[in-house]
Amino acid sequence: MDSLSPLTQVWPKVTFGAILLLLYMTLPRYQRKGTLTPEEAQRVLVTALQYDMPLMLNYSLAFALFKSYAIPSISKILMSTKEFGSKERISKRYADTEILIASWVACPINGKVYMDDTDDHDLNCATSRKEASRTDIAAPTTINVSEKAQRHGQDDPRAMIALARVNWLHSKYPIKNEDYLYTLAFLAFEPERWAKLYGWRKFSELEAHASFVFWTEIGRRMGIKNIPETAEAFKNQMIEYESTAVYPSKVNHDVAQFTLNELLYALPSAFGMKEFARRVAVSLLEDGAREAMMYPPQPAYLRLFATSILHTINFIQKHFCLPRPTPRFPVHPELPDFAKNWDGNAQTNKSTSKPSTTANASLYRMHPQWFQPQPWYKPESTTFLGRLGDWMLVKLGAAGSMPGKTLRSEGYRLEETGPLRFEKSGNDEAIKMAEKLQGCPIGGPWARK
């Protein structure tokens, strides 16, 4: 027994050392687990936002902004802009907001086009849909982006020009950091919520984490301070802020009414259809937001009606429709033709785009993928059938007016978006701000010279 005593003294030390060595060798392998760069996060979200549920999730982003009107300090600033005083101004505000946010989401935030988006999209599709069917995921993980997909191609500064323009416009108003945070939280979490409640599939854990990573990066580039480090902390902060900042106010109601009027413009008023749709939209609000906007409680059957329609559409999409072959989003993720074909010679590139006929006639312009009832940035039809179609839309009430120069039918420049009174202001400043955000000069067709 005495001969075993040295072993009994050494054995615990050897065991402890072996455990430490094992941990030292193993833990570094998992250091990157649960981490995503903002660029990776943006690409993870492509499948859900642009292929699987583009229309619904685009509406979820619009609804996220709509719910922020439950805070009087936000609504008062919006009313002070005077952009809600006419149909034209509010319709332009809605069109520009959709274009700017869609540019953040659809265009690469690192300012570079990947050489092979198709292969990488297929990888994202497989990863996202596989994870969406799993329930045993321990934590969000990174995806394996192929070497081919990591090679950068042409410059695409649209996301940062759009972000810089928003920063410039916001600098004109005394917006509180807490209100920025509250709105940012809605943008980060509302799409996931809508996918869970109304989509044909939920976000995977990877997609939910990617949404948090992507939107908090957008927030940092907007100069928003004190963004929580985790999604859970951000949600808790949002709930805590709601308890004091959300309360009934007439200005909330006014902003909400103006916004719903624009959203429901194409619906006829006959037989109470427009008012019925307004009540359906209100029924989708949580009680706190609804009360703050001073809307009365809606019958349960209205919410049941709305959710039944959404679930029916998603059932048909899931079981009877083929996967979408091309992305569907207000802003197309691919570069416009004038940028794809740019070779540095302005004269040889004039044929790839229709230059504006306004004061900045030499600047190339873009058009959104779809148009609002008041058709801002919609090209004027050049054929008889096209003009007839536009005329019919107006006569049927689906469009507010024919496309034309007053609605900027020549297209938009991101650095010119926003209220008409700022159309020719801050353009060069926005490009310079975008260069700082992107970390490199912006030239070619995106430059203003």
Q: Give residue-wise pLDDT tens across range 81-99.
A: 888 877 778 899 999 999 9
Is the pLDDT reported for residue 119 higher than 70? no
Q: List the structure tokens of 25.
A: 């060798």
Q: Are β-strands 112-114 and 152-155 bridged in parallel, bridged antiparallel, or unpaired?
A: antiparallel
Q: What's the distance, CA 153 to chain centroid? A: 23
Q: Which of 45-54, 149-158, 282-291 has the lowest mean pLDDT?
A: 149-158
Report the candidate in 338, 394, 432, 371 with the shortest Cα–Cα distance to residue 96.
Answer: 371
Is the pLDDT reported for residue 151 higher than 60? no
Is the pLDDT reported for residue 141 higher than 50? no
Is the pLDDT reported for residue 368 higher than 90? yes
pLDDT score of 52: 92
Element holding 133 (H helix, E strand) = none
Share above pLDDT 70 across residues of the chain, in percent, rounded to a whole number: 80
- pLDDT bucket at 128, cuts 50 / 70 / 90: very low
Is the pLDDT reported for residue 172 higher than 80? yes
3-state SS assignment for residue 145: coil
Task: Give dist(CA 95, CA 61) in Å, integer.
Answer: 13
> 357 φ, ψ to 5°?
-100, 10
Amino acid, single-letter form, for residue 402: M
Residues paired with 155 in a beta bridge: 112
- pLDDT bucket at 344, cuts 50 / 70 / 90: low
Averaged pLDDT, 322-335: 90
Alpha helices in 27-157 (DSSP H): 38-44, 46, 54-67, 72-80, 87-106, 117-132, 147-150
Residues paired with 114 in a beta bridge: 152
Task: Give dist(CA 57, CA 446) in Å, integer.
Answer: 29
Question: For 32, what's the count of Cα atoms within 13 Å in the CB-facing half-sphere?
Answer: 7
pLDDT score of 153: 54
Q: What's the distance, CA 92 to chain centroid? A: 18
- pLDDT bucket at 400, cuts 50 / 70 / 90: confident
pLDDT score of 449: 73
Residues paired with 152 in a beta bridge: 114
* DSSP-derived secondary structure for 86-106: SHHHHHHHHHHHHHHHHHHHH
Q: List the structure tokens of 245.
A: 């900042």
Report the candidate in 11, 168, 117 with the shortest Cα–Cα distance to residue 332.
Answer: 117
Element holding 211 (H helix, E strand) = helix 205-221
Number of residues that make up the chain: 449
Task: Write out pLDDT tens, residues 242-259.
Answer: 999 999 999 999 999 999
Number of Cβ atoms within 10 Å of the Cβ of 425: 15
Task: Give dist(CA 289, CA 319) in Å, integer.
Answer: 34
- pLDDT bucket at 114, cuts 50 / 70 / 90: low
Q: Is 408 left (phi over 0), alpha (psi -120 to 50) or beta?
A: left
- Kindly give, in sequence order, each residue whose CB lies less than 8 Å from that of residue 13, ignoring residues fewer than 6 positions away: none
Q: Is the dihedral of CA 28, 34, 40, 44 positive or negative?
A: positive
pLDDT averaged over the chain? Answer: 83
pLDDT score of 349: 41
Number of Cβ atoms within 10 Å of the Cβ of 106: 23
pLDDT score of 144: 36
Indicate the Cα dihedral angle 327, 133, 215, 411, nearest 10°.
10
pLDDT score of 82: 84
Is the pLDDT reported for residue 232 higher than 70? yes
Amino acid, single-letter form, for residue 75: S
Is the pLDDT reported for residue 106 higher than 50? yes
Answering whether pTM is above 0.85, one says no
Amino acid, single-letter form, for residue 106: A
Share above pLDDT 90 across residues of the chain, in percent, rounded to a whole number: 58
Q: Which of 225-234, 253-262, 427-436 has the lowest mean pLDDT?
A: 253-262
Residues paired with 287 in a beta bridge: none
Higher pLDDT residue, 70 or 343?
Answer: 70
Quick one: DSSP state of residue 114? E
Higher pLDDT residue, 99 or 34?
Answer: 99
pLDDT score of 112: 77
Is the pLDDT reported for residue 367 higher than 90? yes
- pLDDT bucket at 266, cuts 50 / 70 / 90: confident
Taking CA atoms, 107 is separated from 51, 152, 180, 310, in Å, by 15, 14, 22, 28
Higher pLDDT residue, 88 or 227?
Answer: 227
pLDDT score of 384: 92
Task: Give dist(CA 321, CA 319) in Å, integer.
Answer: 6
Q: Is the dihedral of CA 132, 135, 139, 142 positive or negative?
A: negative
